[in-house]
Amino acid sequence: MERKYKVVLTIAGSDSSGGAGIQADIKAISALDAYAASVITAITAQNTKGVYGIHPVPADMVSAQLEAVFTDLSPDSVKIGMVNTPEEAQAIASALEKYRPRHVVFDPVMVSTSGCGLMADGAMKSIVETLFPLSGLVTPNLQECGALTGKQVSGLGEMEQAARTLCSRYGCSVLVKGGHSEGNEMTDVLYNNGRAVLFHGKRIDTPNTHGTGCTLSSAIATFLAKGFSMEDSVQYAKDYVTLSIAAGKGLGIGHGHGPLWHQAKGTGLRDAQQRVDRWIRQYGVRYFNELTNMAVLTEEVGELARVMARKYGEQSFKPGENQDPSEEMADVLWVLACLANQTGTDLSEALERSFAKKTARDSERHRNNPKINDFRND
């Protein structure tokens, strides 16, 4: 049987507060409609204010977890986060060399959001030299870039140079994250396939950024598993993280750097639009012709109508019925997203306007229809 969801493996430490590490990874992967598997490298005692203890998982147990996942689940993509010891790094490297997953994203977590070191003393060089060459993408922030290159990294020029240096040294793509820079504008630099690509964004005024890097790298790994290009995966992951940070502004969880809200609304529609973008590039579609393409609308909308009529007919809705029109509805959404993409329409705003109009129209109809009012009174 063909699997319904892509499988993304996260290899990282456990965060007892649930905001970062393996917990953030699983939330992000699941929110983006993929299946999350996990290998825990460390148990940490932490919350939104700090890290109070780190217990590394023995390397042989890391190996056992990896073997269990790879031999049964065959992950489509792998995300690596906190690696505490060189022995853990070697265990991970052995599994990557043995099973050769298609996509590997490594977020070289060195310091937590609260400022606590997450790698054992003197372990960075060994961990980096073991795992960077086996990664397709590494995602250091500015401070981590400075530690990796031995030079302070701040401006765009220094970010691009650092990305080029690490790419040349280890043979992997590099995303230098600019979230720790000052100012309202933030820029990330991706060096991939011999060229630098800039991703711009605005800073969201909130202290709730615990787990941002974990979430970003997991989201990138998820989009790569779904077949998106490196550049698209980075962009879509950044969109998702931005949405999650904005949704988490008012969570009120913890008394320090609070978490993101990984179940932020709107990701489903965004994912549909992303799929349409890929389809447009793949097949060269540039416009929607109502005469030649009306068959697409007719087929999908007609199928939805057929299923809904079969399911409900002239009767009222019956909870618990087995028929599920969700796939036909998704096809209709797909076509609508195509139209929205080609016309520059904000589908979310259009749906809200349509809902408001329909609600007002239905209210007026109910007021003027004595049969409906009689039925309600009964």
Is 79 a residue of the active site?
no
- pLDDT tens, residue by residue, 307-332: 555 544 544 444 444 445 565 566 56
Sequence spans of domains, the chain: 7-265, 281-377
pLDDT of res. 134: 98
Active-site residue identified among 136, 211, 248, 258: 211
Which of 145, 167, 214, 338 is flagged as catalytic? 214
6: left (phi over 0), alpha (psi -120 to 50) or beta: beta
Q: Whole-angstrom distance between the N-terminal and C-terminal Cα of the chain?
A: 50
The CATH code belonging to domain 7-265 is 3.40.1190.20
Q: List the structure tokens of 115.
A: 């400022």
Q: How many percent of the chain have pLDDT more than 90? A: 52
Work out the pLDDT band at 291, boundaries 50, 70, 90. Answer: very low
- Both structure tokens of 154: 């701040």
Distances (CA, A) of 237 to 35, 224, 232, 378: 16, 10, 8, 52
pLDDT at 310: 52
The residue with tokens 């057929």 is 306
CATH topology of domain 281-377: Helix Hairpins (1.10.287)
- Taking alpha carbons only, the member of 148, 141, 82 closest to residue 117 is 82
* Residue 181 C-beta-side C-alpha neighbours within 13 Å: 24
Tens digit of each residue's pLDDT (9 = 90 or more) over 90-105: 999 999 999 999 999 9
Is 81 assigned a catalytic role? no
CA distances from 365 to 245, 287, 371, 374 (A): 41, 38, 11, 13
d(CA 73, CA 37): 8
53 is catalytic: no
Q: List CB contacts of 239: < 8 A, sequence separation 6 or more.
A: 270
Question: Out of 213, 215, 238, 248, which one is annotated catalytic?
Answer: 213
Which residues on neighbouring strands pair with residue 210, listed in sequence order?
259
Q: Is 212 one of the annotated active-site residues of the chain?
A: yes
For residue 377, the model assigns a pLDDT of: 46
The question of whether 18 is a catalytic residue gets the answer no
List the beta bridge partners of residue 113: none
Q: Catalytic: 98?
A: no
Q: Which residue among 130, 165, 212, 242 is the active-site one?
A: 212
Rounded to the nearest angstrom, the gap between the alpha carbon of residue 44 and the centroid of all alpha carbons in its chain is: 23
Q: Show the tokens assigned to 113.
A: 């959001």
